[in-house]
Structure 1
């Protein structure tokens, strides 16, 4: 099934004001299962992943795993990803 062909375009207000997944705080061992559970819900619903990210850093390996999962969603949906709302991200 071509997900991109069956999924409607995302509305601006949904993209900017109604994330369906939020990661807030340190990226640590608790963040990964939380994120994967939310991501599973998004996949089951067949909706866009609208992620709000607000972190001051944390475990780099877990951050890379989360980034990989986001890329896989984009590949599965056969559409590009965009970052519209990241309130606070500190690298390094």
Structure 2
């Protein structure tokens, strides 16, 4: 094979491989939501419905802003996040 043709084929293969790597990297993005649990507009009684919806929509991250001394709320959020395989992030 002539050298320019071989070089062109190698370049095309490298570009395709790079595009595949970028697609694989894009699939690793984790989407999620912010929560404001145990406030008047966000009662803790609705927390399970929220986590169930996150799971159904494949949203795997939940960021919350609960006081870290509020163990009742934290215990409930931790249990739900484990049950529905959703990671927790404190925005404290």
- Sort the TM-score into its range (normalised by shorter chain): 0.3 to 0.5
Which one has the bigger helix percentage? 2
Normalising by structure 2, we get a TM-score of 0.48
Q: Relative contact order (alpha carbons < 8 A, sep ≥ 6): 1 or 2 greater?
A: 1
- TM-score, reference length from structure 1: 0.48
